């Protein structure tokens, strides 16, 4: 249990300039209170039955509250704040009973303002460990000693807030890179292709195919699901990846008939796998939905009709969507997701971290699985910081009661680290690239549907993967 000592020495101001500079660099101080952090304060309030929860970032003179639960507070003076206790401690502080500390002078303002009897605070740190802010829970009654796992929970929630800051920074970098990459292409002739008529013709001539990539339980490498990924088998150009035609399909509106084809093709394939193995049936097949498909009226009715026509159980179908498809109209998004959920379909949040990540939505939306974007998995062996992001996304999923699946696992190191972090599910080239349905049929006949050990594959003892 951290001991509370009010340090007043000069050394507590050491490195303060660097700390504030790191804080300013995040851009968090220039923004109004952010609803994207509300899920954290709300979760903390619910978990600890707290009366007030504050998520704050602190500069030289002020405590800026970015999200609160309970008492509405926007800012407080920095002088003698709980934050300074935390800096002095260089870690969490817990004061279970203020009445036993009548001379608790230093923290007067905050305490009196909120009329609280106990509090606990955990640090929000940046990449190199500097404390930028704090997550504080207050209660009006003395609450007694805080158990170690409770303190751990508070610290995990503060870490999630820190990841949220880091995700924001990465997202900015990601979008900047994307804009830079797409700029020259937009002026080249490649942008002209495919035209609407090419896509229409492809649909009519049945040139689209679905490939499938296994989703495995990391502990056992058992195939627990499949992601359906569309390809265009073009008569002259060969096999074309989705990113080369899905944007054009979205732009022209043809994504709707193409998406309908994909959904019904996936349902037929599920039926096919069920008939090949009536005892075990098919693993859950997940289909990607674009923003436009998601925004379409009557989506749930459409999916329900498809399931009925094909005789597929809703438990065998999953739908993947990205956060950006939910953002334009979060209220409708919630309604659509809820009605899909009522059908018994699994809902997966794709590419988590690259969109306009909003924990607030995440908390209220009924997703079953959170898919950690490949870019985070790729970087996780590069150092403590990316690893910490993956760790906190896993923790976040756990707190929100969701399954977590890591995308794009390519190396044994990533595989081993993810298992250590408690990530249960994964997919990636290490296990299998997306492959045609016939190859999946062969995989599903493996004993226990367990894929070969990738470490053995590296030894050269296994050549099986196509």
Region of 5-13, 172-180, 198-206, 427-435 interacting with ligand C2E (CB under 6 A): 427-435
CB of 355 to Mg ion, least distance (A): 11
Cβ(167)–Cβ(389) under 8 Å? yes
Give the contact letters, 390-429, x = binds to Mg ion (CB under 5 A), - = no.
-----------------x----------------------
Degrees, nearest 5: CA angle 137-142-145? 80
What is the residue-wise DSSP string for 144-195? -PPPHHHHHHHHHHHHHHHHHHHHHHHHHHHHHHHHHHHHHHHTSGGGG-S-
194, 386, 434, 454: which one contacts ligand C2E (CB under 6 A)?
434
Q: DSSP class of residue 2?
A: P
351, 361, 370, 426: which one contacts Mg ion (CB under 5 A)?
351
CB of 250 to ligand C2E, least distance (A): 8
Degrees, nearest 5: CA angle 169-173-176? 140
**Residue of minimal Cβ distance to ligand C2E:** 428
From start to end of 291-378, where are the E strands? 317-322, 346-352, 369-372
- Residue partners of 150: CB distance under 8 A and separation at least 6: 48
67: contact with ligand C2E by CB under 6 A: no
- Residue partners of 362: CB distance under 8 A and separation at least 6: 39, 349, 370, 396, 400
289 vs 300, beta carbon nearer ligand C2E: 289
350, 370, 380, 396: which one contacts Mg ion (CB under 5 A)?
350
Region of 88-96, 270-278, 359-367, 422-430 interacting with ligand C2E (CB under 6 A): 422-430
Counting every residue written for the chain, the total comes to: 466
243: contact with ligand C2E by CB under 6 A: yes
Please tell me the count of residues contacting ligand C2E according to CB under 6 A.
Answer: 24
Instruction: Please report, to the nearest 10 degrees, the dihedral formed by the alpha carbons of residues 79, 85, 87, 88 taken in order.
Output: 110
Alpha-carbon dihedral sign for residues 143, 149, 151, 153: negative
| 61: its two tokens | 């003179």
β-sheet bridge partners, residue 204: none
Terminal-residue alpha carbon distance, the chain: 54
CB of 80 to Mg ion, least distance (A): 47
77, 241, 328, 436: which one contacts ligand C2E (CB under 6 A)?
241
Could you give the count of Cα atoms lying within 13 Å of 2 in the half-sphere of its Cβ? 23
242, 247, 257, 452: which one contacts ligand C2E (CB under 6 A)?
242
CB of 295 to Mg ion, least distance (A): 18
Give the contact letters, 344-363, x = binds to ligand C2E (CB under 6 A), - = no.
------xx------------
Q: Which position has the token pair 């994504």?
A: 255
| 19: its two tokens | 């700390």
| 379: its two tokens | 């970087």
Binders in 303-342 for Mg ion, by CB under 5 A: 320
Q: What CA–CA distance (Å, rounded) separates 404 from 227? A: 15
215: contact with Mg ion by CB under 5 A: no
Q: DSSP class of residue 304?
A: H
133, 214, 386, 428: which one contacts ligand C2E (CB under 6 A)?
428
Region of 92-100, 358-366, 401-409, 436-444 interacting with ligand C2E (CB under 6 A): 401-409
167 vs 230, beta carbon nearer ligand C2E: 230
288: contact with Mg ion by CB under 5 A: yes
What share of residues in the chain are helix, strand, coil (percent, to 5)? 50, 20, 30
429: contact with ligand C2E by CB under 6 A: yes
410, 411, 412, 465: which one contacts ligand C2E (CB under 6 A)?
410
Residues that bind Mg ion (CB under 5 A): 288, 320, 350-351, 407
Residues that bind ligand C2E (CB under 6 A): 213, 229-230, 241-243, 246, 259, 262, 288-290, 320, 350-351, 374, 407-410, 427-429, 434
């Amino acid at each position: 249990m951290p001991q509370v000592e009010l340090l007043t020495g000069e050394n507590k101001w050491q490195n303060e300039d660097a700390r504030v500079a790191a804080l300013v660099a995040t851009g968090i101080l220039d923004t109004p209170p952010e609803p994207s952090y509300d899920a954290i304060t709300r979760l903390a309030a619910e978990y600890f039955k707290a009366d007030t929860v504050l998520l704050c970032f602190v500069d030289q003179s002020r405590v800026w509250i970015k999200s609160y639960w309970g008492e509405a507070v926007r800012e407080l003076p920095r002088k003698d704040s709980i934050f300074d206790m935390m800096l002095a401690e260089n870690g969490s502080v817990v004061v279970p009973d203020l009445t036993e500390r009548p001379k608790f002078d230093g923290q007067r303002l905050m305490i009196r303002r909120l009329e609280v009897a106990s509090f606990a605070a955990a640090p929000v740190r940046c990449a190199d460990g500097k404390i930028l802010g704090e997550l504080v829970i207050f209660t009006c009654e003395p609450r007694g000693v805080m158990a170690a796992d409770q303190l751990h929970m508070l610290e995990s929630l503060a870490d999630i807030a820190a990841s949220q800051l880091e995700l924001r920074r990465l997202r900015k970098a990601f979008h900047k890179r994307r804009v830079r990459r797409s700029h020259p292409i937009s002026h080249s002739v490649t942008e002209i292709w495919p035209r609407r008529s090419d896509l229409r013709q492809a649909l009519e001539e049945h040139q689209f195919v679905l490939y499938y990539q296994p989703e495995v339980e990391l502990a056992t490498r058992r195939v627990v699901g499949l992601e359906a990924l569309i390809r265009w088998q073009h008569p002259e150009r060969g096999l074309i990846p989705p990113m080369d035609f899905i944007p054009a399909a979205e732009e022209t509106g043809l994504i709707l008939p193409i998406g309908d084809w994909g959904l019904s093709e996936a349902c037929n394939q599920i039926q096919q796998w069920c008939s090949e193995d009536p005892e075990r049936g098919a693993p859950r097949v997940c289909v990607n939905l674009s923003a436009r498909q998601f925004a379409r009226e009557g989506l749930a009715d459409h999916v329900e009709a498809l399931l009925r026509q094909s005789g597929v159980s809703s438990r065998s179908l999953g739908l993947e969507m990205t956060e950006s498809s939910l953002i334009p109209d979060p209220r409708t998004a919630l309604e659509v997701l809820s009605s899909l959920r009522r059908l018994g379909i699994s809902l997966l949040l794709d590419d988590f971290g690259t969109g306009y990540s909003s924990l607030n939505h995440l908390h209220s939306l009924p997703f079953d699985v959170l898919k950690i974007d490949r870019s985070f998995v790729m970087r996780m062996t590069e150092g403590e910081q990316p690893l910490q992001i993956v760790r906190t996304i896993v923790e976040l999923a756990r707190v929100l009661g969701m399954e977590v699946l890591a995308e794009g696992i390519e190396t044994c190191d990533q595989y081993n680290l993810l298992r250590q972090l408690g990530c249960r599910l994964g997919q990636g080239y290490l296990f299998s690239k997306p492959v045609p349905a016939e190859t999946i049929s062969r995989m599903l006949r493996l004993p226990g549907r367990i894929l070969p050990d990738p470490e053995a594959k590296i030894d050269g003892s296994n050549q099986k993967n196509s």
